Structure 1
Amino acid sequence: MEKQQLTSMSIDELWALHTDVDEIIAARIVAKKAELEARLAQLQQPTKVIVDQRST
């Protein structure tokens, strides 16, 4: 959106735009948080150690 478009908008139109952008950003944050929590859960899982018994 160009600056000229923003300057010609009414206060109500600007507020509606603000509300729309706020909702979009909030949804992206929620999605990213879920993705990061899933990755963190994977990292916190205990790993299995495979021991090569032929070397004993």
Structure 2
Amino acid sequence: MAVDSGAPSGSTNPVVDYHMVYALLSIVLAAAQAGDRWGLGRWWATLSVVRSRRWLR
């Protein structure tokens, strides 16, 4: 029978892993076009390469 000593085990939560949280956050920020408000999105959209290839926006 194993006794829990209270020491950290180094395991992670498989349900709410930080990779999943960051992936979801990235998707939400991209869908909300956060780059236009807090980033370089408006400047990026003015580049001629981006204007001719809308998928880069």
TM-score interval, normalised by the smaller of the two chains: 0.3 to 0.5
| TM-score of the pair, normalised by structure 1 | 0.37
Bigger radius of gyration among the two: 1
Normalised by the length of structure 2, the TM-score is 0.36
More helix by share: 1
